[in-house]
Amino acid sequence: MSQSNRIVKQTGKYVLLTAALVLFAGPLVWMLSTMMKTKAETYKVPPTILPESLNFEAFQRLFDVQPLMWRWIQNSFTISALIVIGAVLSSSIVAYGFSRFSTKYKDRLFPIVLMTLMIPPSILMIPSYVLFTKLHWVDTWLPLIVPAWLGGAYYIFLFRQFFMTIPQELDEATYLDGGNRWTVFTRVIMPLSKPIVVTTVIFAFVNSWLDFLGPFLYIKSNDMFTLSVGLQMLIGQTSQDFPALAAGAFISIVPIGLLFLFAQRYIVEGVVLTGSKG
C-alpha cells in the first residue's frame, strides 16, 4: 500500500470516528450545557453550545418545584439495590445447579430457561398486572422486587457459562477437605466469579434504575415513585424550564456513568469469559 493510500485510509477512519463521537456524545454535551444555562439563554436564536457563565440555579429550581426529588432518588436506590441482591443470589444459585449438578433433566431444563428470553415483555404485562392485583401488591414495591428474587434467564445464562470455566478439580479438592456443595458454592465458586458478579450487578442496577414502565404501572402514590417516573411528571410541571429538565436528566445518569466508569474492566472480563466454554 502506497503512502498516499495509507494517509487516505487513516483520514477516513478518523473522520468516521469523529462522526460517531459527535453522534453519541452530542446529546450528552448539549444536556450538560443546557443545565448550566439560564432560562433566557435556552431561548436564544441561534442557540449557543457553551453557557455564558457556569450557573447551577437549575438544580435549585428543580428541587423547589418538586420537593419529592430526594425521596424519589432514595426510592430508586432502594429498589435497585434490592433487585441487584435478588438477581445475584437467585440467578447464581440456579446457575450453580445447571453447571455442577448431574441430572438427566439438566440439559432439558436449561434450553427452556433460555427460551423464556424470547417472550416479549408486553405479552406478560396484562397477566402480571392481574396477578399482582389479586395479590394486593399494586401500589407497593413488591411487583418490582419479588420477580428479581426468582431468577432471571439472562443472568442465569451468564453465571452458568462463567461457572463452567472454573475447573471442577477445585470442587473435588473441597469435598476431600470435608466440604459440601454449599461450601463449594460459597467458598470456591463465588469468590472466583467476581467479574460476572460485577457484570450482573451493573446490568441489574441499570435495568432497574432506568425502568419506567414497571413503576408507572404498579406504583400509584407520589411519595413511592422512582426517579424515572418522577422525572416524567416534571415535564408537565417545568415544561418551559429546560435547564431544570436537563438537571433532572443529569441526576438520573450520574449513578450509571459512575458504575460503568469504575467497573468496565470487570464487564469486559466477565462477558469474554462467559463465552469461552459451552
Kindly report the CATH number assigned to the domain that includes residue 270. Answer: 1.10.3720.10
Whole domain around residue 11: which residue ranges?
A: 3-57
Same domain, residue pair 16 and 79: no
To the nearest 10°, the Cα dihedral for 75, 77, 79, 80? Answer: 150
Among candidate residues 12, 30, 57, the one where a domain is terminated: 57
Same domain, residue pair 249 and 203: yes
Summarize pLDDT for 32-69 with one digit per residue, the tens.
Answer: 888 888 888 888 778 777 787 778 888 888 888 888 88
Same domain, residue pair 69 and 135: yes
Q: Tell me the torsion sign for CA atoms 167, 170, 173, 179.
A: negative
Please answer whether residues 59 and 77 qualify as being in contact, where contact means their C-beta atoms are separated by less than 8 angstroms: no
The pLDDT of residue 269 is: 65
Same domain, residue pair 41 and 151: no
The pLDDT of residue 226 is: 93
Same domain, residue pair 43 and 136: no
Does residue 157 register a pLDDT over 60? yes
C-alpha 251/C-alpha 202 separation (Å) is 17
The pLDDT of residue 2 is: 65
Compute the C-alpha angle 115/217/133, nearest 5°. 85
Same domain, residue pair 40 and 161: no
Closest-CA residue to 231 (of 217, 251, 258) = 251
Same domain, residue pair 104 and 17: no
Among candidate residues 11, 34, 57, the one where a domain is terminated: 57
User: In this structure, what C-alpha cell is assigned to residue 29?
Assistant: 454535551
Does residue 173 register a pLDDT over 60? yes
Same domain, residue pair 195 and 105: yes
The pLDDT of residue 21 is: 79
pTM: 0.85
Same domain, residue pair 144 and 226: yes
Same domain, residue pair 196 and 146: yes
Summarize pLDDT for 102-145 with one digit per residue, the tens.
Answer: 877 888 889 999 999 898 888 889 999 999 999 999 999 999 99
Does residue 99 register a pLDDT over 60? yes
C-alpha 175/C-alpha 161 separation (Å) is 22
Summarize pLDDT for 212-245 with one digit per residue, the tens.
Answer: 999 999 999 988 999 999 888 877 666 677 888 8
The pLDDT of residue 4 is: 73
Is residue 46 reached through a cis peptide bond, with omega within 30 degrees of 0 on the bond before it? Answer: yes
Same domain, residue pair 88 and 41: no
The whole-chain average pLDDT of the chain stands at 86
C-alpha 150/C-alpha 37 separation (Å) is 46
93/58: higher pLDDT: 93
Closest-CA residue to 234 (of 33, 12, 107, 69) = 69
Same domain, residue pair 158 and 256: yes
Domain total for the chain? 2
